[in-house]
A and B are shown apart, each in its own frame.
Chain A
């Protein structure tokens, strides 16, 4: 192997650093042994570096690679999917470390590193992750530069600077490309992230599900209103509607359970100005979208289902942005179809006998369904029910009997569950709605931040002439929850976010932490709405705004313009050194003359004087002899003869340049 092809030690060091940094954010997703493989490879490499061990031979490498593949299949059950792919890449990455000798190997590892960097984005496009990845790209590029530096000082930081400068220079055009590149749909279906847990509300609800969610400080979505933000207590973000109760679990209706003619909801007549807002949702790996009722969206592809919620046919895998209009006062489904009435009043045959009996007793004391609703709520508020984040575990059978008569301690889903059962047992259509209640208003950018701990469950009851009416039994037990949010409601208990001691949300009382948190959140929102949530629609709007109209020629023009501008600036920066020597007056013009002749095929000869060059030119283009000689004489005088004081230097310069261009043109 040529000495020039060997991998310099500093480059190796940079690659090892880059690998470690690459591995880090992926660690939680990977089986532990992948990290083990990396450590092993690293140790091996270090020993080889110090000359204590040989790098592995070819057969050993084949065995190792096969073992890695087997390990991945064992850990994930398959080789397909994003996580196994990432695991495979990282394992290959680690193993490559042990066979890196030449520059070629380094290229493979570094390019692989860029790709691993990309896979990180499939999991999160959070601002922090992006900043981290940028750092990674920097280190990887530094390694690439270091590959071309002489071996020697390990602490040579110049590659770092060079890589940084080059990346910075690449940024402007990257931005233009980013905003101009057409966002087309997937070319083919790709393996989904099978092993990522679904987050947030699910379409099945058992007592305890929501209270578990309440421990999470993650952001579910952010909403930005065009106008005034409605009162937080009115922000019931509907997500899923749970109409079917089976085995003590509420779930929404399956698509095939709905008769064909009822699958789509008719658009309702709306009155007055709607609330306009946009929402950027964190990926949930599920299909439903959150909105205030009654919601319509113009976003193509989003369905409005028969229970008046928004549904995306594609699973939400990335940050998802949509614009919504809501008319909170519009009655929903004034006329109830017989099928619907049947579904919304059905209960398992024998279940919770004591609760049903209680409902029956209460129903008899009232005249109208509305009064019955009030009576049930009164029951919750008058009896000694407690709102708590730590409800006792309930047995599997007759769950509500245990709750209503024995424990009487519950979270929102307990009350919603009990309420729905009592309504249905009296023959009144009722269902549970899952979603989020309220949110935190960020004063920095006036967005409503809805966290997972804002998860909530409430009821809708169908009343004659009014349609579906929202009833929140939790409000009867703990009005604070509705008015001030969960934190205040469970303050006495100290259970709020008891599982996340480090979350900045716990320190909302401390001014500067809170203000920093909110500022960062505003930044994230901006980031999401401009960058990670940038899609075909947003692109269309932006380009129309910038270009006036969208056409290929204008887009190309913008791209070219930006390209030329960037390259120009970079060139200026790069070649400024070459212009450092200040030339005596008019020498530049003499050089132009030489170049002009050269462009026409007359190469200069070393050590030739301009006069000799001119004579050679005359030999070559005899018909231009006069012009050439005259121009030469003018140039000669301007460079070597004293300039008459009366002469205007700049004018002479312009004139000379014009003549040079002219002669280049005429030859």
Chain B
């Protein structure tokens, strides 16, 4: 994010300082005291120089949005950023966060923004030495199911003197996936031997002959393809299609009594539960079907499908 607009305006402290300077100037005039003049002008110019230093503290900073952690609705999601400083300039006392949304009109908000910094959500202060980078995680409460976009990230600093406030709002294309909040519900009826599931399996995969595969350690000796071995082939195992038959299905229709969001929440609960119990399961909701499998990635895929149910998908990068 090399190019972005940086705003700078005196802080409250800055106005207070200006007032002090005015008093000092009046003292210098009234006492006709040259060194007082000099001191007043020195401090006034310190203010002017601080404009550049405050600006420089923010410029040259590179913010990269890294990933955003997935979260369940109502929880906090961790948004990951990388702050890096190119060049010889360090960046100090950076306040990073999202401004709390305000209800006032745009014009007033702009004016208020000049004079005071907004209340920040998930505020963090970071220091960055020259030519280094630092990763930062900001935890932000996320809203309801779907994609959560946190809006523009605000970076603000009053370093070095506190007289000026320099800020910038970085629009980073970053969003977190929000899963439905799990809802405890009775276990859906499904399981091994369900005729419907078996049929579906047969139809979906062209898997009717499982065939023979290379022997893998731990295979049942009864299934080893001894004949092949006798013919001088390598040790092989006979693979049976029934190995997948005890998969469970989580189906949209199983929770027909519930309205849409609660259905998703209930499915979400059972996805987590099955995954914890390391059971093989498949997921079927309108528009999406996931074949039975296990593992973290499978769970993530299932949760993602639940999160994005009914949300039009735009494929990024394509």
Contacts and interface: CB of A to CB of B under 8 A. Distances in A.
User: A and B bound?
Assistant: yes
Interface of A: 2-4, 103-104, 107, 111, 114-115, 117-118, 121-122, 125, 130, 133, 137, 141, 144-145, 147-150, 159, 162-163, 166-167, 169-171, 173-174, 177-178, 181, 183-188, 190, 317-318, 531-535, 563, 567, 570-571, 574-581, 594-595, 598, 604, 606
A104 B27 CA distance: 24
A186 B162 contact: no
B32 A186 contact: yes
Contacts of B53: 162, 166, 574
B121 interface: no
B164 to A, nearest CB: 11
A148 B93 contact: yes
A187 B38 contact: no
Residue of B24, B40, B42, B48 with most chain A CB atoms under a 10 A cut-off? B42
Interface stretch (B69-77, B83-91, B228-236, B280-288): B83-91
A103 B13 CA distance: 10
Contact of A576 (B36, B42, B88, B161): B88
B197 interface: no
A326 to B, nearest CB: 27
Contacts of A133: 35, 39
Interface in B14-72: 16-17, 20, 23-24, 26-46, 48-50, 52-53, 56, 59-60
B3 A598 contact: yes
A442 to B, nearest CB: 23
Given A118-B24, A171-B45, A604-B3, 9 more contacts: A115-B23, A118-B28, A118-B39, A125-B34, A148-B159, A149-B92, A174-B41, A318-B33, A576-B88
7 contacts: A4-B125, A111-B16, A118-B40, A121-B33, A133-B35, A141-B46, A578-B60
Contacts of B246: none
Contacts of B127: 150
B89 A606 contact: no
A503 B270 CA distance: 94
B6 interface: no
A531 B44 CA distance: 18
Contacts of A185: 32
B143 interface: no
Given A167-B42, A169-B49, A114 B20 contact: yes
Q: Interface size class for chain B? A: 35 or more
A280 to B, nearest CB: 12
A117 B39 contact: yes
Contacts of B35: 121, 125, 130, 133, 531-532
Contacts of A318: 31-34
Nearest to A85: B27
Contacts of B39: 114, 117-118, 121, 133, 137
B30 A186 contact: yes
Contact of A174 (B36, B42, B125): B42
What are the 4 tightest A-B residue pairs by CB atom distance, in nearest-first order? A577-B87, A577-B88, A170-B45, A121-B35
Contacts of A606: 1, 173
A437 to B, nearest CB: 31
Contact of A170 (B13, B46, B92): B46
Given A4-B123, A4-B125, A570-B49, A577 B162 contact: no
B117 to A, nearest CB: 11
Contacts of A576: 87-88
B95 interface: yes
Contacts of A147: 162
B52 A571 contact: yes
B141 interface: no
Interface in B162-183: 162, 173
A435 B140 CA distance: 81
Contacts of A174: 38, 41-42, 44-45
A159 B41 CA distance: 22
A148 B31 CA distance: 34
A149 B159 CA distance: 8
Contacts of B38: 174, 178, 531
A150 B93 contact: yes
Nearest to A120: B35
Contacts of A121: 33, 35-36, 39
Given A187-B29, A190-B31, A570 B52 contact: yes
A185 B17 CA distance: 25
A3 B124 CA distance: 10
Contact of A577 (B31, B43, B46, B60): B60
Nearest to A130: B35
B130 interface: yes
Contacts of A107: 13, 16-17, 162
B27 A118 contact: yes
Given A167-B42, A177-B41, A177-B45, A125 B33 contact: yes
B161 A170 contact: no
Contacts of B36: 118, 121-122
A606 B1 CA distance: 7
A535 B49 CA distance: 27
A121 B42 CA distance: 14
Contacts of A141: 46, 161
A177 B44 contact: yes
B118 interface: no
Contact of A181 (B37, B49, B88, B92): B37
Nearest to B42: A174
Nearest to A181: B37
A509 B42 CA distance: 41
A114 B162 contact: no
Interface in B83-108: 86-89, 92-93, 95
Nearest to B130: A577
A2 B123 CA distance: 10
A148 B162 contact: yes
Contacts of A535: 32, 34
Nearest to A136: B39
B160 interface: yes
B13 to A, nearest CB: 5
